Amino acid sequence: MDTFKRLKQYYWPYKKYFFISLFFLLFVTGITVVYPMVLQLTIDEVVIKNKYSLIPYISGFFLILMLIKGLSTYYHQYLGDLFGITVVYDLRDSLYKKLQVLSFKYYDNAKTGDLMSRLTADVEGFRFFLSVGFSELLRIVFLILFSLSVMFYYSIPLAIVTMAAMPFLTFVVLRFDKRVHPAFRNIRKSLGRLNTRVQENISGMHTVKSLSREDFEIDRFSNSNNNYRQDYLKTASIWSKYFPLMEFIGDFCAVVLLAYGGFLVIDNQLALGELVAFFSLVWYIMGPLMNLGFVVNQFSQAKASGERLIEILDAKEDVREKENAIETPIKGHVTFDNVTLTYTENDDHALKNITFDAPPGKTIGLIGATGSGKTSITQLITRFYEPEEGQVLLDNRPVDEYKLKTLRRYIGFVLQESFLFSTSIRENITYGCPDVSEEQIIDAAKRAQAHDFIMEMPKGYDTMLGERGMGLSGGQKQRIAIARAICINPSVLILDDATSAVDMETEFKIQKALKEVMDGRTSFIIAHRISSLKHADEILVLDEGEIVERGTHDFLVSNNGPYQHIFDIQYQDRKAIMGIVN
């Protein structure tokens, strides 16, 4: 119950919807059992005692009750649903806000698919439980209680006989439910695998066709296709085993009713109309009971869903703004003082004793193998992570003394993966600064060498990009990402492998343009190609989180260190070719 207690703040404010809905439920279930009573009255009082004058009263009374029932059903259902969707509105809102503030560290370990299934399936499961699940349980209880009362009122022995079937049915229902749910999960899983299989095949179609592997792919697909069929049929076979059985128990109950009830009527211990009423009443008990398993399962699923949601809501916010954090323009003087960083406890250091100073106007180049810590350095400046030891300073003040908004407002970041949003190119470029002028947008795009190809598109800057910026080449995406970073007019610009997919000529143009923009500001350039960072004022060569060599290109190139090694490899053919060219 802790789960429901923890989530109380979301549903308790709307409790009135729930309780009013329950109030109407009482009418709904109460009036349901009137129908058999009307049949009984018609047979026993009107027909057998020949009192047709009663009919208008019975009809009128029944009609009024049914109108009340109709209204009650409407409000019971609507308010129940309203309760669910209102609570879930708030819950979604909180989840979204929470997701916005969780740090990179959280996302490093989270999978998009998993988060998505929590935000969709689990939220939906929770809503369903609030709207339908809980009140369905009460409906079953009420309906059984009301029906039993009427039964006992008519005939105690017959009521007891009917009740005898209930434990059997309950047993079968619960057993069925226990078996069918894992089976359903299997169906979902194998459908998921089939989906992945097909998706992969389509995405990799070029590779498939190149290697002429169509038949192989059809085989693999048929395998998954067959697994799905088998899992489906397994579930169907559980279904075919239990469902007819449940119905049979109900039917059998009716047969017993006929035998014993018929005998009682013959014996004059029971009125005929009462027996007829029993036939309806018995289904008011059996029907809802068949639903019991489903409802019980709802409970445990809602609990599990709730727990998964709480995990998000309670996730630790690693990076928090200090209470007295300041807002002040940042000039862009970046200083690292003996900084050590570890991503997860007990893990190796991602960075060890990093120290450097980058006053405005300076360009720092970072080079090193994949995983050597280049990206980590830049992400500490924006406080995406917090150092374990040492200090990261901006304008001689620790970065955690600034408001996050202020800090990041002055730092333009071009991340390794140039993620673009599903909106127009214009909106993507102005993502960080919605209020800039048209000239500024075009200026940023021009500097990023993106203007020309944007203008070639049918709708220019208003061209819509699909999810994940589909339809653009890697190089084009990178250029829009660069324009996006320039557009916020940053004091510090960080290019993390930002031009890897553009050709050399374009890269050259971008670099020339950036040099102009970044005059008097601080830049960080991460690259594998020496040509991308040789103009830096200081180049840091990283290996396993440590600076192993530093200096200008001219110094490093003959320092007999790793930098020179990289240089030699990249420029091996330069000499040979240049010799001929010149």
Adjacent-strand bridge partners of 524: 364, 494
Chain residues 489-508 in contact with another protein, contact rule CB under 8 A: 497, 500-505, 508
- The residues in 20-49 that bind another protein, with binding defined as CB under 8 A, are 35, 38-39, 42-43, 46-48
Contacts of another protein in 44-83 (CB under 8 A): 46-48, 50, 52, 55-56, 58-59, 62-63, 66-67, 69-71, 73-75, 77-78, 81-82
Binding to another protein, residues 102-131 (CB under 8 A): 102, 104, 107, 112, 115-116, 119-120, 131
> Is residue 466 part of the contact set for another protein (CB under 8 A)?
yes
Where is 313: in which H helix or E strand? helix 272-313
CB of 2 to another protein, least distance (A): 27
- Binding residues for another protein restricted to 327-356, rule: CB under 8 A: none
In the chain, what is the straight-line distance between the N-terminal and C-terminal CA atoms, in Å?
81
Interface with another protein: number of residues (CB under 8 A): 161
Decide: is 286 part of the binding site for another protein (CB under 8 A): no
- Among 109, 345, 434, 516, interactor with another protein by CB under 8 A: 434
Using the contact rule CB under 8 A, the part of the chain among 166-174, 209-217, 308-316, 344-352 near another protein is 209-217
What are the Cα distances from residue 517, in Å, to 331, 478, 492?
14, 18, 11
Q: Which is nearer to another protein, 2 or 417 (CB)?
A: 417
| Among 173-181, 347-355, 424-432, 436-444, the segment contacting another protein (CB under 8 A) | 424-432
Q: Which is nearer to another protein, 337 or 544 (CB)?
A: 544
Residue 535 within binding range of another protein, rule CB under 8 A: yes
- How distant is the alpha carbon of residue 196 from its chain centre? 18
CB of 66 to another protein, least distance (A): 4
Give residues 355-394 in contact with another protein (rule: CB under 8 A). 368-370, 382, 384
Collapsing DSSP to helix, strand or coil, 418 comes out as: coil
Which residues lie closer than 8 Å to 529 by C-beta, 6 or more apart?
Answer: 570
Segment 211 to 270, residues that bind another protein, using CB under 8 A: 211-214, 216-218, 221-222, 225-226, 228-229, 232-233, 236-237, 239-241, 243-245, 247-248, 251-252, 255, 258-259, 262-263, 265-266
Asked whether position 206 contacts another protein by CB under 8 A, the answer is yes
Sheet holding 492-496, edge to edge: 411-414, 492-496, 522-526, 363-368, 538-543, 546-551
User: Is residue 179 a contact point for another protein (CB under 8 A)?
Assistant: no
> CB 52 → another protein: shortest distance, Å?
6
Work out how close the CB of 135 gets to another protein at its nearest, in angstroms, rounded to a whole number.
13
| Beta carbons within 8 Å of 203's beta carbon, 6+ residues apart | none
Pure H helices in 257-271: 262-266
Mask of contacts with another protein, 293-332, x by CB under 8 A? ----------------------------------------
560: left (phi over 0), alpha (psi -120 to 50) or beta: left
Q: What is the rounded CA–CA span in Å between residue 412 and residue 563?
A: 27
Task: Read off the tokens for 448.
Answer: 């990023």
> Which stretches within 155-271 are classed as H helix?
156-203, 205-210, 214-256, 262-266
Select from 418, 409, 381 the least CA-distant residue to 497: 418
CB 547 within 8 A of CB 386: no
